Amino acid sequence: MLERIQILICGGTGCLSSHSKEIRNEFDKVLTEMNLREEAGLIMTGCFGLCEKGPVVIVYPDEIFYSHVRVDDVRDICEEHILKGRPVERLIVTDPVDKKKVKNFSELKFYSKQKRIALRNCGNINPLDINEYIAKDGYLALGKVLTTMTPKETIDVMKKSGLRGRGGGGFPTGLKWEFASKSVDTQKYVICNADEGDPGAFMDRAVLEGDPHSVIEAMAICGYAIGSNQGYVYCRAEYPLAVERFNHAIGQAKELGLLGNHIFNTDFNFEIEMRLGAGAFVCGEETALMASIEGNRGMPRLKPPFPAVKGLWGHPTNVNNVETFANVPVIYLKGADWFKAIGTEKSSGTKVFALGGKIANTGLLEVPMGTTLREVIFDIGGGIPNRRKFKSVQTGGPSGGCITEESLDTPIDFDNLIALGSMMGSGGMIVMDEDNCMVDVARFFLNFTRVESCGKCIPCRIGLKIMLEILERICAGEGREGDIELLLDMAVDIKKSSLCGLGQTAPNPVMSTIRYFRDEYEAHIKDKYCPSHVCKPLL
């Protein structure tokens, strides 16, 4: 063998739930029996992205992509492919777009229009081995920043790159760092928001599971830039694998002196600890998140003062989410101009989306800002299965809105999605077909935000409850004349008067579905009929 064979097995949560760990153990057993264990490396990686085809196994250097692999298939792969060099045809992935076998996974249309920056190492390295991250230029950016740049120069590069927060708000990251750096205090904090609560979203989880060191490196760079020596990662306890791998990565970084005191033989000291949340959606809001870290009930507070001035335990604090941090090391290695050249004028770089719902290729994808919704849904996502007709796509999770076919050619960026009545959010993208009732969709998302409301402010606590009661009445065939207008009036009032982003954006699904599918609301109210045959009382 001229090149050592490497067998990469997806070790993300989705594939692990489909027995990929048992598949790895079977590979180890069979290869040992065949005396091939020394010739073939076995690597459990993070998520490859194409979750629809899991469990996934990729064999290098041939780049053969095997999909839906079972434990019983392992011996065939070892005997035919590893030993004899003949790929197992029945397991080779079929492109869901043109229905053809694709031997080289890079030829899959799912990947052809992607550009992976935040996900650059997911599926390529063993997340439990820091040496594999270092081999991919890991911690090189941190070394460069600490030994050749001042904190101000570090912030200037981030500002020049145009990176905007990927957690939903889209606030310029460099500006956020600058505010925290200018706050005068003996103690400052860096927080990574990994409290990913949107239904259908799992971008942050995938990064923490597949490339935890990228977040550690980025947090240390941020700490140097703003003058902080302590970082916290706030992650939901429902992500046990992410928590386990990230804590393992912290331990490895400490062992190599990449966390702790005098990093890279400089005067910079930085530590990271992980804090677990109990799954409250409202704790994704940064002030509620900080209250939870402090041991208090996770409830938002009024801003100003902003966290950059008065944050965790009253000290200046910078909060960015996982995906934002995952972009940081590459910016310092390849330059702000390189990053700025990707995407659009006002939205630089790429965006990771979790594609789900009525779509052929469910999974994670990362595309340059400015890619159209049509390209994401049909060219990458493979379109709507079962020959059904596309109806809408919900972006931004419970805080977002529904976008129709007429807007599919809209370039994706922060401003364009807001103009359509939706938002970028953290990156959840749920596709719906003609069988989805849009009134029921609005009811579903509003029920989610009502349940997750902390109840601190009246507009959110009471207003969402009343709006939900109206929607439930409509879905039950008891809608009244004027209900649509009442929903819109209440939505405007709640958006204007709620304390935090949860309440301010909670009416979005209702407003957008009325904007684009008012006829469905009218059919429910006036005709007592559900056009999609979803609302059972109206069948």
**Contact between residue 219 and residue 56 where contact means Cβ atoms under 8 Å apart:** no
CA atoms within 13 A on the CB side of 176: 25
Q: What is the pLDDT of residue 138?
A: 98
DSSP 114-174: ---STTTTTTTS-TT-HHHHHHTTTTHHHHHHHHH--HHHHHHHHHHHT-B-TTTT--BHH
pLDDT tens, residue by residue, 385-444: 989 999 999 998 888 999 999 999 999 999 999 999 888 888 889 999 999 999 999 999
Alpha carbon distance 43, 98 (integer Å)? 30
pLDDT tens, residue by residue, 328-341: 999 999 999 999 99
3-state class (DSSP) for residue 522: helix
pLDDT tens, residue by residue, 94-105: 887 777 888 777
* Percent of the chain predicted with pLDDT > 90: 89
For the segment 270-286, the average pLDDT, to the nearest whole number, is: 94
DSSP 40-65: EEEEEES--S-GGG-S-EEEETTTEE
Alpha carbon distance 221, 53 (integer Å)? 36
For the segment 494-502, the average pLDDT, to the nearest whole number, is: 93
Is residue 1 predicted with pLDDT exceeding 70? no
Q: What is the pLDDT of residue 95?
A: 83
User: Please, what are the domains in the chain?
Assistant: 5-108 (3.40.30.10), 130-340 (3.40.50.11540), 350-433 (3.10.20.600), 438-538 (1.20.1440.230)
Q: What is the pLDDT of residue 3?
A: 66
Reading the block at residue 72, the tokens are 């019983």
pLDDT tens, residue by residue, 142-176: 999 999 999 999 999 999 999 999 987 899 999 99
Q: What is the pLDDT of residue 2?
A: 44
Pick the more confident residue, 107 or 496.
Answer: 496
> Please, what's the b/e burial string for 448-470 (b: 16 or more CB within 10 A of its CB; e: otherwise)?
bbbebbbebbebbbebbeebbeb
The answer to pTM > 0.75 is yes
Mean pLDDT of the chain: 95
Which residues, other chains included, contact 390 with Cβ-Cβ below 8 Å and sequence gap of 6+?
377, 383, 384, 405, 408, 431, 433
Is residue 446 predicted with pLDDT exceeding 70? yes
Say which DSSP state 183 is in: S
